[in-house]
Structures are given as structure tokens and as C-alpha cells.
Structure 1
Amino acid sequence: MSPGRQPKDHLLRTGHVLTFNSLVTAALGAGYWALAARWYDTGAVGRNYSAVSAMMLLAGVGQLNLTNVLLRFVPTAGERTRALVSKAYLAACVFTAFLAGMFLFLVPQISPGLQFLREPLLGGCFVLATAAYAVFVIQDGVLTGLRRPEWVVWENAVFAVGKIVLVGLLAVVAKSTGILLSWAIALVFAISLTNGFLYARAFPRHASNPADERADPSRPTPGYVMADYVAALFWLAATALLPILVLNRLGPDQAAYFSLAWLAGFSLYQLNASMGESLIVEAANDPAQLPMQCRRVLRHTGMLLLAGTVVLCAAAPLVLRVFGPDYAQNGAGLLRLVALSAFPNLVIITAVSACRAQRRMRVLVGILAVVCTLATALSLMLLSALGIAGVGAGWLIAQTVVAAWLWWRKPLWLPVRDRSASPTDGGLVGPP
């Protein structure tokens, strides 16, 4: 294979493998929640899903968005990779465990529906699962940065299958908390297996590879990490808080209907995110190819989205009927709206990934701040009038408005000529 073709091939290969991972994860996740919906009562599903959402939110905040930082800098870290990743794990675990403990202390005030987490044994399990999930998220970025996306598939498959087995076993002995416990146990097993591979094989091999002269050798700076973290907080707040808001405003039954319809529709967002991650990695390895890579991502992912959106919109009731007739009746409208909103989200994800690759962090923060604030505000406004479908409508409107603006202002994020960023600018490179 010629050197000129390598970035293009890696871009598509990594993106396709991560997309396949998203599909497998979504299918196994749908199977998991379908079984949980049949083995546990609706209220238990709603409460446990909201607890899992809180866990994911806290882990997302606690991992300091180091996933994207490692995606950007692991490809060119060489012999520094082991130390870089180890420091990221330590920082994420400590901060995430602290946040989980504070959440349990404040749960009567901020989310009364989750007070069952304050039981000592379950609370300890929640803190452990939250810290483990932070590592789980980070290691996906590490594997992708190392161009080992196939291990992302295996890791997530092991985690998903483990959850399914455990949720069935725990339905016999822990009817009210088995869903959350299945996540905690499966997480510990999955991260132990994956990090055994990383530290024993992947890191030494990456350290021995010669540096590519086309790669960007820069290192993460505090300015880059902080700006990327602020941007990620907007996205986390806009996504992970939604099930908790629905639970508190509409009750556990509507939270269950919302959660599973949102899960099915959001699988298309994961497709966008997978291609965006591949874009970041390949831009680090060959920055000059970024404009071409952005256009390939838009074309390629757009075709996949078209097929996925048509299927989900046409078969929304059938998809949700897997979980039960009530889920199909209450969640089909939301599923269609979320699926449609994935199209404009592709433009947003491509722009965000390009900004990370170029270290244009002010633009990145601005994009995510606007889209997330607008989506959350519209969702809250429409929730009372339209029920859970109002969240889908709010997201569709917000994504479309921001994507249209980004398409109009493409020079802000899509380079039309080579640009160089000063290595001492802290990563805060704004538009010229």
C-alpha cells in the first residue's frame, strides 16, 4: 500500500469498524433492555435507567473528556503512551469517584426518584460502577488512537453480553436493583480484560513504531484540555440529564418509554461520533489531509444515515414493540424525531472533530454551547405540551438550525488551505 493512500484507508477502516461496533452495541443494548423490560416491572426499568444515566453523566464529567484528548494525542505519543494513559486513568477515577459520592449525598435534593441509591451496599456499587465507566469510556479512545478499533468491538461485545447474562441472573435475586448491578459487574470484567491487552501488548508495540514525519508531534496542553472539557460538559448536560428530567417531570413509566426510544434513535448519533473519532485520529497522523477527510466523512456517513433513518422512521413501532406494546405506543414519535435529527448532527460532529484536530478550541466550545443550550431549552419547553416527543422535536430543531449555520460558515471549521498553529498557543486557536 502506498503511503499516500494509507490515511484514506485508515480513515474508512477505523470509521467502519467503529460504526459496526455502534450497530452491534445498539443491537445488544436493545436486546438487553428488551429482556430487562420483560423481567423487571416498568417502574424498576425507569428508575434503573435513570440511575444508569446518572452514572454515565457523572463518569462523563469525571473523566474530564480525556477520551477526546487521548484520541488526538495518543497516535503520536510513541514511548510516552503508557504514562499518558496511566495519568488519564488515575485522574478520571479519582475525580469520578468524588463526584459519585457527592451525588449520593445530594440525591434527595436533586433527584428524589433515585433515593434507593443511598442504601450502603448499592451506593458503594454505584460509586464503583461510575469510576469503572469513566475508564471504560477512556479506553475506547485509547484503542481508537492506537488504530486498534477491532478491540473496541470485542470490548463492547464482552460488556454487552455480560450485562445480558447478569441481568437475567439478578432478576431472580435483585428485582429492584438487578439492572444497575449487572452494569457494575460487567464493567469491571470488561476493563480488566481490555487493559491487560493494552499494557501487555499494545503500548509496547506502539512505543516501538517509528514516528511518521507527516504527523503532528504536539502534546496536550492545559489550555486544550480545559477548553475541550468545557465543550464536552455542554454535550453531557444536554444528553445525560434528559432521562432524569423526564423521570422527575413525567414519572417512571414515561421515563422508561422515553429512555428506550431515545436509546434506539441515538444509535445513529453514535454512527456520527464513530466517524468523527476516526477523523480526529487520522488528522493527527496527517494534518494536511483534513479537508479531504472531512468531505469523505460527510459523504460516506450521509449515505449510511439515509438508510438508517429510513428504516427507523418506517419501522419505529415495530422496533419498539420488542420492548412491549406500551413502548411502541408511547415512543414511536420520539424515535422518528431523534432519527431525523441525526442528519444535521452529522455536520455538527464533523465540524467539532475538525476543530479538535486543528486545536481551534474557541470555535469548538462555541458550537457545542449553542447547540446544547438550544436543544435543552427547546426540549424543556416542548416537554409539557408534547410529552416525550417534545424532546425529539427540540433536538431536531436545534440540530437543524446549528448545522445550517455551520454549512453557511464552513471556513470556520473546514480548512481550505494549510494552516499552522503555534505550539505554544495552549491549543486555543480561534478563527483567523
Structure 2
Amino acid sequence: MLKTVARDSLARNSVLIMASTAGSAGLGYLYWLLAARELAPAAIGPATALISISAVVSMVSNLGVGHMFIQRLPGTAVGEWSRIVSAGLFLGCGATALVSLVAGLALPELGSHFAFLGDSSGVAALVVTAVALTASTLLDNVFVAHRAGHGMLLRNLALAAGKLVTLAVLTWAGYGGAAVVLIAWTAPSVAVTAYTLVSSLPRLRPGARLGVSGIGTELRPVGGSLRGHHLINLAQAGPTALLPVLVTARLGPEANAHFYVAWMTASMLFMVSPAVASAFYAERTNAAPTGLTRAAGVVLAVTGPPALLLFFAGERILGLFSADFAAEGGLLLKILVLAALPDAVTNLVVAHWRALGQFRRCLRLNLLMATTCLTLTWLWLPGTGIEAAGLAWLVGQSVGAVAVAVSSVRKRGA
């Protein structure tokens, strides 16, 4: 089995991407477990809400540069490689800083649940956290573009371990409050990103030199990525990032803390198909012959055992945080587990269509699922509670899977 994975580029890089996400999620789980046990819910709620908003801002403003890296970096000369990476990081992080500043100033005016952003420190925390997320995401895609999942794995493990250690040190020293959660979350991101830029990227692409020269020549390709990949990414990842924000807006930060923990727990399932989809797309851009059936087999083999574990033992896992988290999030977790299958179908199909250059088809499918999920979430949350977000996610992904099946039948009948 291990020899097969080592020889198969798709399987190897899928496993490494999943291991990166799983390792980060596992250490992240310990991070939030420590936070839940050492800090008051009043501190955790605003921190999770700010991190959720940062994820939305990063997703909206990264300009689709990550998939542009996967599409353009393979086979490029070192000078062009340096220019593409430099421009992508500069433009993506710059746009994120601007959008997060606007969001930090505007959100407190839209509702009392965003009062934690009402001063300069809250806005500054949002900007730094969002930019750190964008930089981390884009650097991950540089490694994926080169089918170097091991670099991504080591980077993310160092990042997640740094967050956990920083939080442990701060709480052991007697510090508390939402600021502690945010500092421990963001400071290691900045440090690991700096190390990646200075040390890891030159090893990945010998001779590469990052800088600001030539960035202007990359405006047109980034604009093309914005119109193509970025719109697809926004529609695909939008619900993932927006659901915690909608829960905060409709039910408040404390309800979001219960939702966030269940959502984070279910992420061990939702990480599989995106990881395989990214590796699948990278294989295609590197001109490797890779079939959709083989990618689907990797997803099914990896998803099954954790899905059964979470469905039947999810409440016990949530109980590690507290009995309150288990009581509030147990049903939600079961709903999210059921959504993993249609989610896998749609992620792989979008990767397949993207590799074929069928961007409009990808966008239509993702918009259908996003619109369904977010609309139902907004309508159902006040009356149903946090389970509404899970139900809406399940319905949205199922609608997408049905649309794929109908499209496939029509294509065969044509």
C-alpha cells in the first residue's frame, strides 16, 4: 500500500495534502480544546467570530491567485517563476489588507453582534489575521503546483504546533481574554510565513528571488484569474467561510462557538475531497494522465472510516470540550457527516471541469449550491438554531450532486 502511494503522484500528493490538513486540524482541535478549558466562553465567542470573518475576507480578496499558481508555475523559467509568485503574493495580500480594513470599519455599523470590532485593536486584529490567512493559503498552492505536498505538510504542522504552544504558554502565564486566542492564532502564522519566504521557497525553486520588480506585467494574468478561477473559488468556498459569520449575525458569538467546534470537527471529512481535487488539478496541469475514477476511489477509501467514527461517536468527541458543546453540537455534527458524500461528488466534478477549461460550468454549479445553502441558512437559523446551517449545507450539496447526475445523463443521451 505504501509503495503504491509512493509511486502514484496523485495518491502521494493527495495523501500529503490530506495529512497537512489533518495534522493542522488535529492540532487545531487541541488548540480549541485548551481554549475551551482555560478561557471563558465570552472570550472564545468573539475570537472565533473574528477568525471566521477573517476567513471570509481572505476568501473574497485573494483574487484566485492560488489556482493561478497551480496553472502557471509548472515548467516556467526561474525568472518568470519569481515574478509570478512575487506578484501573486503582493497583490493577494494587499487586496486582503484593504478589504479587511473596510470590513472592520463597516461591520460594527451593521449589527450589535459585531461590537467586538468597534475599536482600533479589533480592526487591526482582523487585518493581520486575514492577511496571514491569505499568505498561508497562497504559499500552500505554490507547493501544490510543484506536487511537493511534503513541503506543505511540514509548513502547516509547524504552523499548527506553533499556535498550540503559544496558547499554552500564554494561558499558563495567566493571560486571558479574546486577545490571547487571536495572538496565539496569528503570531505563528506570521513567523512561519516569513520562514517560508526566506528559506523554503528558494529550496523549492533554486535560484528564485522574490521582489516587487515586474509586478505590473502580472496585472493582466491576475485579472484573468480574478474573472475565472476566483469566481469559481468564491462560489465554492463561500458557504464554508460564511456559515459561521451568518450564525454570529443571527444567533450571536456564543452560538457561533458551539457551531464552530462542530464544524471544525466535521472538517476532517470535508478536507478529503478538496485535497484530492487540488492534487488532481495539479496532475493535469503537469500533463500527467489522471482519471476522475481514480481520484474518486482515493476519496472513498479515505472518507469512510472517519465518517463512521464521527457519526456514531461524535457527541463523545464534542464532550471533550464540555458537556455543553456535546449537547448543542451533537445533532449538527451528524448532519454534517451526511453531507460529506455529495460534497465529495461536487468537489471532484468541479476539479475535472476546471482541468478541461470549462470554467462557466464550474461557476454555475457552485453558484447553485452556494445560493441554496446560504439562503436556507439565513431563513432557518432563527427558528431552528445552529442545526439550520448544517441542514442548509446538506441540502445545497445534495442539490449540486443531483445537478451533476442530471448533466451526466443528458450528456450520455446526447
TM-score (norm 2): 0.89
Rounded Cα–Cα distance in structure 2 between residues aligned with 1:32 and 1:411: 46
Residue 155 of structure 1: CA displacement?
1.0
Q: State the SS of the aligned residue for 1:64.
A: coil
1:22-61 to 2 correspondences below 5 Å = 22-61=21-60
Indicate if the aligned counterparts of 1:309 and 1:339 stay in contact, CA closer than 8 A. Answer: yes
Q: State the SS of the aligned residue for 1:359.
A: coil
Q: 1:384 to 1:125 in 2, by over 3 A?
A: closer
Q: State the SS of the aligned residue for 2:205.
A: helix
Structure 1: gaps (5+ residues): 208-218, 417-431
Q: State the SS of the aligned residue for 2:339.
A: helix
Q: Specify the alignment match of 1:161 in structure 2.
A: 161
- Give the RMSD, CA atoms, in angstroms: 2.5
Rounded Cα–Cα distance in structure 1 between residues aligned with 2:237 and 2:115: 22
Indicate if the aligned counterparts of 1:268 and 1:305 stay in contact, CA closer than 8 A. Answer: yes
Letter in 2 for 1:21: S
Q: 1:303 to 1:385 in 2, by over 3 A?
A: farther
1:4-83 to 2 correspondences below 5 Å = 9-79=8-78, 80-83=80-83
Q: 1:384 to 1:6 in 2, by over 3 A?
A: closer
Letter in 2 for 1:388: I
Residue 178 of structure 1: CA displacement?
1.0
Q: Specify the alignment match of 1:211 in structure 2.
A: none
Q: 1:387 to 1:185 in 2, by over 3 A?
A: same
Indicate if the aligned counterparts of 2:353 and 2:362 stay in contact, CA closer than 8 A. Answer: yes
Letter in 1 for 2:198: G
Indicate if the aligned counterparts of 2:71 and 2:145 stay in contact, CA closer than 8 A. Answer: yes
Rounded Cα–Cα distance in structure 2 between residues aligned with 1:378 and 1:8: 44
Indicate if the aligned counterparts of 1:78 and 1:206 stay in contact, CA closer than 8 A. Answer: no
Q: State the SS of the aligned residue for 1:315.
A: helix
1:10-409 to 2 correspondences below 5 Å = 10-79=9-78, 80-171=80-171, 172-204=174-206, 222-286=223-287, 289-290=289-290, 292=291, 294-409=292-407
Q: Deviations over 1:213-239 (max 9, x none)?
A: xxxxxx957445412212222234312
Q: State the SS of the aligned residue for 1:303.
A: helix
Rounded Cα–Cα distance in structure 1 between residues aligned with 2:100 and 2:106: 10
Q: Deviations over 1:70-118 (max 9, x none)?
A: 1222223343221111100010111111111111211212353333334
Rounded Cα–Cα distance in structure 1 between residues aligned with 2:340 and 2:398: 9
Greater CA deviation, 401-410 or 157-166?
401-410
Q: Deviations over 1:122-160 (max 9, x none)?
A: 432431222122111100000111121111111111111
Rounded Cα–Cα distance in structure 1 between residues aligned with 2:235 and 2:112: 24
Rounded Cα–Cα distance in structure 1 between residues aligned with 2:251 and 2:239: 18
Residue 343 of structure 1: CA displacement?
0.7
Rounded Cα–Cα distance in structure 2 between residues aligned with 1:351 and 1:240: 21
Q: 1:339 to 1:96 in 2, by over 3 A?
A: same
Q: Deviations over 1:368-408 (max 9, x none)?
A: 10011111122223323321112111111221121122133
Indicate if the aligned counterparts of 1:224 and 1:361 stay in contact, CA closer than 8 A. Answer: no
Q: 1:196 to 1:410 in 2, by over 3 A?
A: farther
Q: Identity across aligned pairs (percent)?
A: 24
Letter in 2 for 1:202: L
Rounded Cα–Cα distance in structure 2 between residues aligned with 1:263 and 1:72: 29
Greater CA deviation, 341-350 or 395-404?
395-404
Indicate if the aligned counterparts of 1:238 and 1:372 stay in contact, CA closer than 8 A. Answer: yes
Residue 6 of structure 1: CA displacement?
11
Q: Specify the alignment match of 1:214 in structure 2.
A: none
Q: 1:345 to 1:78 in 2, by over 3 A?
A: farther
Rounded Cα–Cα distance in structure 1 between residues aligned with 2:109 and 2:71: 38
Indicate if the aligned counterparts of 1:76 and 1:284 stay in contact, CA closer than 8 A. Answer: no
Residue 8 of structure 1: CA displacement?
7.6
Q: State the SS of the aligned residue for 1:76.
A: coil
Q: 1:378 to 1:157 in 2, by over 3 A?
A: same
Rounded Cα–Cα distance in structure 1 between residues aligned with 2:330 and 2:245: 20
